[in-house]
Amino acid sequence: MPALRTLVRSELLKLGTTRMPWLLVLATSLATLVLAVQPIARAGRGGTPSLGTAGAALGVLDAMGQAALGALLLGVLVVTTDFRHGTVATFLLQAPDRVRLLVAKVLTALLLGLGLGLVSLLVVSALGILSGAWAGGLVNASTALAGFGLLLTYPLYALLGTAVGALLRRNQPLAVLLPLVWVWGIEPLALSGLPPASLRWSLHGVTAAVQNAGTLPFLLPVWAGGAALLGYTVLLLGAGALQLHRSDIT
């Protein structure tokens, strides 16, 4: 039976030969660029922080957080692509153990999520330096902590994407659309009538905690937000693994 490293390498090679993951990486990079340009273009107007201030520096950096959904969708593709193209049977011929199949995909998603996060960090860093938003002295321990949290969001979201993909593996369009609908529509609507303090446990709330978005009220500590986000992911991933184990794969 092939080692996990071989299976992960096979997954990376397979995804590298399909168009959709590359388009998603490109779209995420462009979204990061567009979002990072906005605080620079509006700097010093209408109450927006001026260039050379901590507010402007963090505004550019925060573009990474809004683009992190790309990592979640990338995690979905890691799981669902095999089922969509009917190549999962070939994978199982290499490694009949379905748990190993899912573990290989989880590790692949974590690597891709981290890679996508580094690309986004490179985009905002280049823009911040070239525009003067990251002038000397503004990149300090506080911005480094925020940057670390934003970068950490990417592999965590990619892991969450594998969980969604495992649960909805036979319906790739739904697996891609559902997280977007949840983040932009269902969750805000469902939580709108609840006490503000309860929002800290929502996906948006725990993500903001990981990203150290200290301007939001009732925020969890960074470690608690990360633990909650990881906990939600493990629960969904466990349900997906159980469903995968019991299902008929043909």
pLDDT confidence of residue 2: 66
Side chain identity, residue 30? L
> What's the rounded mean pLDDT across residues 183-201?
83
* Range from 92-96, 105-109, 219-223, 241-245 carrying the lowest mean pLDDT: 92-96
* Range from 28-37, 110-119, 178-187, 225-234 carrying the lowest mean pLDDT: 178-187
pLDDT higher than 80, residue 36? yes
pLDDT confidence of residue 3: 77
Domain residue limits at 58:
4-245
Alpha helices in the chain (DSSP H): 4-16, 19-41, 54-61, 63-66, 69-85, 88-94, 98-131, 141-167, 172-181, 187-191, 203-210, 222-246
Per-residue pLDDT tens for 61-102?
889 988 899 999 999 999 988 887 667 766 666 666 778 888
Greater confidence (99 vs 29) lies with: 29
> What's the rounded mean pLDDT across residues 199-223?
83
- Residue 50 within a domain: yes
- Residue 201 within a domain: yes
pLDDT higher than 60, residue 1? no
Report yes or no: 98 and 245 within 8 Å, Cβ to Cβ. yes
Best CA proximity match to 210, nearest among 220, 200, 225, 190: 225
Side chain identity, residue 74? L
* Range from 70-74, 153-157, 196-200 carrying the lowest mean pLDDT: 196-200
pLDDT higher than 90, residue 164? yes
Q: Which percentage of the chain shows pLDDT scores above 90?
A: 36
Domain count, the chain: 1
- Per the listing, tokens 């990072």 go with 36
- Residue 250 within a domain: no
- CA 246 to CA 232: how far, in whole Å? 22
- Residue 11 within a domain: yes
- Select the highest-mean-pLDDT range: 110-124, 139-153, 179-193: 110-124
Report yes or no: 99 and 241 within 8 Å, Cβ to Cβ. yes
pLDDT confidence of residue 216: 62
Side chain identity, residue 59? G
How many CB atoms are closer than 10 A to CB 41?
A: 10
Give me 168's structure tokens.
């909805």
- CA 243 to CA 145: how far, in whole Å? 38
Give me 6's structure tokens.
């071989």
- CA 205 to CA 10: how far, in whole Å? 36
pLDDT band with cut points at 50, 70 and 90 for residue 250: low
pLDDT confidence of residue 92: 65
Q: What b/e sequence results for 143-172 when a residue is b if at least 16 CB atoms lie within 10 Å of its CB, and e otherwise?
A: beebbebbbbbbbbbbbbbbbbbbbbbeeb
0.85 exceeded by the pTM? Answer: yes
Report yes or no: 182 and 167 within 8 Å, Cβ to Cβ. no
Task: Report the chain's terminal Cα–Cα distance, integer Å.
Answer: 20
Give me 145's structure tokens.
């902590």
Greater confidence (188 vs 76) lies with: 76
DSSP state of 1: -
pLDDT higher than 80, residue 240? yes
- Residue 92 within a domain: yes
How many CB atoms are closer than 10 A to CB 5?
A: 10
pLDDT confidence of residue 96: 67
Please state, rounded to an integer, the average pLDDT across all residues of the chain. 85
